[in-house]
Amino acid sequence: MEIVLDVKRFKGRSRAHAYLKEALRLPDYYGRNLDALYDCLGEIGEETVIVVPKAIQNKEYLGEYGKTMLQVFRDAAEENEALTVKIE
């Protein structure tokens, strides 16, 4: 499965996490923070490719928080063999 995330949905932290819950079909217990995102990405068991827009780190989106979020995606992909992350 391939999921391409829409950069326009990353305006503000709470909106971004709500979008990620929906787009990635994260469980109801998803805590809507970066630690919870990492944990949920680690639980993906089916081969999944997530395309994350590099622009989420731009000021008009998440800025520094976006940079950290990109690293969370990278780290999760390193730990979970079923997960591939492309940052474009």
CATH homologous superfamily of domain 2-87? Barstar-like (3.30.370.10)
Tens of each residue's pLDDT in the chain, 88 residues: 999 999 999 999 999 999 999 999 999 999 999 999 999 999 999 999 999 999 999 999 999 999 999 999 999 999 999 999 999 9
| pLDDT score for 23 | 98
| Residues near 16 by beta carbon (within 8 Å), at least 6 away in sequence | 9, 10, 56, 61, 62, 69
**Residue 40 zone, left/alpha/beta (φ > 0; ψ -120 to 50; rest):** alpha
